Structure formats: structure tokens, C-alpha cells
Structure 1
Amino acid sequence: MGADNTGGNMGEKADTEMAENPFEPYIESLRQKVEEQDPVFLIGIIVALAVIVITCVFLKYFLTSKTVRSAVLLVGLCDSGKTLLFSRLLSGKFKRTQTSITDSSAPYKPKTDRGSIWTLIDLPGHDSLRPQYLEKFKSAARAIVFVVDSAIFQKEVRDVAEFLYVLLTDAVISRNTPTLLVACNKQDITMAKSAKLIQQQLEKELNFLRVTRSAALSSQDGSMGGGLYLGRRGKDFEFSQLPMKVEFLECSARGSKGEEGDADIESLERSLAKL
């Protein structure tokens, strides 16, 4: 009678264990089959699985990066004409503007047959506001339109160069390599500098800034570390040395005929259509 009770208890225990882990027989069978396999075969399976995982991670990162960076940022100093250019690109209409203290954004469809739609974002130009808005949107930038006031460029060249230096040595921008379009605006004004001259003077100024900033970093910690190096070491700076595509173009958001006329922004629109 005791034996029957013992057998019954063992049966109940086995049934309980089976209920708690119904997959144990299958796991045990799989373990035995794995042990019977050739080690070389098992290594091949592991390598194949690793390749699949790495490929999936890469594809996810690649596709995500392509879809996230869909913004076109309008940046530049105060009164360079960014906000009027923003209005002209969106509607073609002239609009009286004032200094922006926050960002403005809207969908923008380039003049192309591909059907692409970007988010056009006008960032404030005041030096106290630029850093926070640049930090907010730089990761999404597919292109950066850097607007320069060609009429008073000679007086602002140092400030323009310093802002450009910040952009070009930013780790996120350097990694994502958005297209950089330097829009030399206000070409309708007689004293406006040409895009070629602006490029040449900015290259000289950026080369000077690179030397002074590198020297400052070296004096602080005894090394050349502390930030991204602009251009190529041992050579004077040129925009062609940058990892992103750079284009200088001339435009006039106001237009040669004033408020009632059309803007002269065809070169900028053509460049945006190529993104």
C-alpha cells in the first residue's frame, strides 16, 4: 500500500514538473542533437547568425538616417535675409520681416519631378539664440543653407567665418555631412560682393581661425586635441577639403525690382532640387 502511494507521489511529481516546463523534453532533444554535430558546422551557424544580426542593425541605422534627415535649415547672421528667403521659397511672395526670436518651419517641395518634400526651417540669427536652435535641429539636417548678406559682407566677414567654423567643426554635422549651400544674398544691391570673392575671403578667414583655435587648444591642455580639425593638416583651408558637398551661389530674396517683383533665387532652387 505504501509502495502504491510512493509511486503515485512520484507520478504526480513528474506530472507537475512536466506542467511547469512542457518544453523540457524538446530542449533536451535539441541539446543532444547539438552535441552530436560537428563543431565546424556549429561555428558556421553562429557566424551566419552573427552576419544576419549585423546586417539587420546596419539596415535599420541606414534607413533611419535617410528618413530622419529631411530638414533644410536656413541659418546666418541677423538681417542676412533668411526670413524673406524662407517666404520666397515657400510662396514666392514678398513679405515684410523682422528679426526672428524663434524657429519657423513648413513643408517645402523643390522644383523637381522626384516628388520629394523637405521641411524648411528658418533658425534665428541672433548670436545668443543660434546655439540652442542649431542643437535642436542639426541632427535632422539634410542640407544647410547659410545665408550671407553680400552687401555688407566686408564688415561681417569675421562674424560670418566664426559662425561657419562652429558649424563645420560640429561633430554631428561632420558625421552626417549635409549639403552646405552658401547663399550670397542681396545681389540686387550695387556694392554686393560676388560669390567667388566671398568664398575666397571666407577660406582665408577660416584658415586664420583654424590656426588661432588650434593654438588655444594646445595651450590649454598641451595637445592638439579637443575638437574636430577643419580641413587638411599642413594645407591652407579650402572648402573642397570638407567631407560634405559645398556650393556657393548668388541670389536676391528681394529681387531687382523691389517688393513688387520676383525674387532672384533660381540658382538656390536648382540646388535644393538636387538634394
Structure 2
Amino acid sequence: MTFERFRALHHADEPLLLPCAWDHASAAALARAGFAAIGTTSLGVAAAAGKPDAGRATRQETLALARTITGLGIPVTVDIEAGFGRTPGQVADLVARLAGLGVAGINLEDGRGTGLADASAQAKLIAAVKRRVPRVFLNARTDAFWLGLPDARALALARARAYAEAGADGVFVPGASTEHDIEALVAGAGVPLNVLVRPGVPVRRLADLGVARISYGSLLFRAALHAAVTTALGVADGEPVTAGVPSYEQVEALHRYRPASGR
């Protein structure tokens, strides 16, 4: 039922707010805070391992993280970058393995360095994954805006339609930020639209525009790094520790976190 539960969250009255974790503690803390689902951040996973993001370098770390967080009682969707494989079959094998661990969804991106993958090839990749693993929510990410390409809206719309026709359950367009762009993508994609959270822009406004899913991306990981360094420097200067920092006992208990019965 995890796939159905996760898919239903994209068709609810309010957008799905999706915070992204990078390790078990962050995932458990977010689940305990009451979020309906959690994702993973490829930047956070890569940076924590001392590896580059989007470099096909963190396949094992991604699998290991998925294995540890799928028992938290809420749907989990995993960022697999461009698929960690050189062929559609290899990518489909990975997604099947993730599904076997209990993962409800994946993000699969078309960004390739400073450009985009061939649209036809990416659509075939999406189709191959969905044929092999139909009960995983495939969120097809297109990086036309993210890479600052000319005619980004037209590119993103064309790719969103092609990916939806290939079987994608949703499309993710990071970098799309103006209301006009978002409205056009909602109207033209044909599947639920996912955008990045925009600090200062109310969730209610994005809901009014028709956005189905709002991802935090790497924001929480970057905020955690900032908080760690800020706290370290503050203590060195004799400042009190920031109020609200969890206790040792609270953090140690996260490895035992399980949802309340009936949740």
C-alpha cells in the first residue's frame, strides 16, 4: 500500500510538503515531527560521504540510506540522480532493488553536467523503469530551468509532456519560480507538478497555482551545516548554546524511533 499512499498525497487538497533527509537521524527526526513523507537529498548524501553530487558516485550510500529509513512508517522517495547506471536495464534494476527495500518513489533527472540528456533517450529510460517497476512513483526531473538554458519554459514543458507520456507519475522542475512559469507547467504537464520550496513564498500561494508537491531539496542539509558552524563559533566566543538544541538522549533515541500504532 506504500505506493498508493504516496501517490494519493500528490492528489490531495493541499500540496505534499516533502523534507529531504541525508541520514537516518535526520529522516527519523522528520518522521517524528509529523511529515507525511520524506525524500532524500543527493547533495546531502554525497557531501556527507565526501563525494561529488550528480557524479554517479553514491549508489551504495543511496541504497544504504534507503535500507535504514523505510521502516519509519511513512512513504520514502529516493533521489537517484540520473539513475546510477549506464543502460535503462541497469537503472531499472536499481529501482527494483529500492522497491524491494520498501521505497515508494524515486527522482530521476535529465541533467547531465551543463546540459540535458537527449529527450527521447530519457523518455525511453523512464518507460523502461516503469515497465519493470510499475508500483514506484517515478518523479521525472527536468533541469531546463536549473541549468539556466534558453527557452527554459518551452523545454521544460516539452520534456514534462514526453516524460508523462512515457509513464512518469509526476514531474519535478527545480528552478521554475515565476507564477507564470509554474501556471504553464501545471496546465501543460499532465501529471502532478513538483517544485522546490521557495522561502518567503507561502505554501498557500503555490497551492493556488496548482503545485502538487513542494520539495525542500538540499535546504535542510545546508541549514544544518550552517547551524553547526554557527554554534561552534558561538561557543568559542563564549555565547550560550542555542535554545532548542536536542539533548543527547533525544538524539540517541532516534535509532529506536517507530511510528505510533495506527499512524
Of structures 1 and 2, the one with the larger relative CO (CA 8 A, separation 6+) is 2
Q: Which has the larger radius of gyration?
A: 1
Asked if TM exceeds 0.5, the reply is: no
Greater helix share, 1 or 2?
Answer: 1
| Smaller-chain TM-score bracket | 0.3 to 0.5
Q: TM-score, normalised by structure 1?
A: 0.35
Q: TM-score, normalised by structure 2?
A: 0.36
